[in-house]
Structure 1
Amino acid sequence: MNLWVVVPAFNEAAGIGATLGALAAQEDPDFTLVVVDNGSTDGTARAVRAAAGGLRLHLVDEARKGTGAAADTGMRYAIAHGATHLARTDADCLPLPDWTARIRSAFAGGLEFVAGQLVPRTDEGVSRPRRVLLTTTVEVAAAFGRVRPGNRDPRYLGPYIMAPGCNLAITADLYEAAGGFPRTAIEELHEDRALVNAVRCLTTKYALRRDVRVRSSSRRVRAWGLVKTLAWYADHRYRPEVVDVR
Structure 2
Amino acid sequence: MTGPAPLGAGDVRLWVVVPAFDEEAGIARTIAALAAQHDRDFRLVVVDNASTDGTVLAVESACAAYGLGVTIVTERRKGTGAASDTGVRHAIAHGATHVLRTDADTLPTPRWTAVGRRAFAAGADLVTGPMRARTDEVRLRPWERVVLPGVIGFCQAFGRFRPSNRSPELLGPYRMSPGCNLGVSARAYEASGGFPRTAIEEVHEDRELVNRVRRVSSRLEHHRGLVVHASVRRLRAYGLRNTLRWYLDHGHRPDVVDVRVVA
TM-score range, shorter chain: over 0.9
* Distance across 2 between alignment mates of 1:173 and 1:67: 21
What's the CA shift string for 1:215-245, capped at 9, x where partnerless?
A: 0011000111000000001110111121111
1:78 match: secondary structure: helix
Q: Does 1:59 align with 2:72?
A: yes
- TM-superposed CA distance for 1:153, in Å, is 1.1
Q: Out of 163, 172, 176, which is 1:162 matched to? A: 176
Q: What is the 5 A alignment of 1:65-76?
A: 65-76=78-89
Paired position in structure 2 for 1:37: 48
- Mapped contact 2:173–2:220 kept (Cα < 8 A): no
Paired position in structure 1 for 2:210: 196
Q: Does 1:126 align with 2:137?
A: no
Q: Does 1:205 align with 2:219?
A: yes
- TM-superposed CA distance for 1:161, in Å, is 1.1
* C-alpha RMSD over aligned residues: 1.0
Which structure 1 residue ranges, 4+ long, deviate > 6 Å from structure 2? Answer: none
- Mapped contact 1:221–1:229 kept (Cα < 8 A): yes
* Distance across 1 between alignment mates of 2:81 and 2:34: 21
Q: What is the 5 A alignment of 1:137-152?
A: 137-152=151-166
Paired position in structure 2 for 1:111: 124
1:7 match: secondary structure: strand
Paired position in structure 2 for 1:46: 57
TM-score normalised by structure 1 residue count = 0.98
Paired position in structure 2 for 1:178: 192
Paired position in structure 2 for 1:224: 238
* Distance across 2 between alignment mates of 1:105 and 1:156: 25
Gaps of 5+ in 2: 1-11
- TM-superposed CA distance for 1:131, in Å, is 2.8
2:229 match: secondary structure: strand
What's the CA shift string for 1:88-135, capped at 9, x where partnerless?
A: 000000000000000011112221110121011111221354133112
The one-letter amino acid of 2:101's match is R
Q: Does 1:239 align with 2:253?
A: yes
Moved more, 200-209 or 121-130: 121-130
* Distance across 2 between alignment mates of 1:64 and 1:109: 35
Q: Give the fraction of aligned pairs with identical amino acids, expressed as a percent.
A: 60
* Distance across 2 between alignment mates of 1:239 and 1:131: 26
* Distance across 2 between alignment mates of 1:180 and 1:225: 31
* Distance across 2 between alignment mates of 1:161 and 1:206: 7
What's the CA shift string for 1:179-222, capped at 9, x where partnerless?
A: 01000011110000000001111111111112100000110001
- Equivalent pairs counted in the alignment come to 246
What's the CA shift string for 1:21-70, capped at 9, x where partnerless?
A: 00000000000000000011111001000101311200111010100000
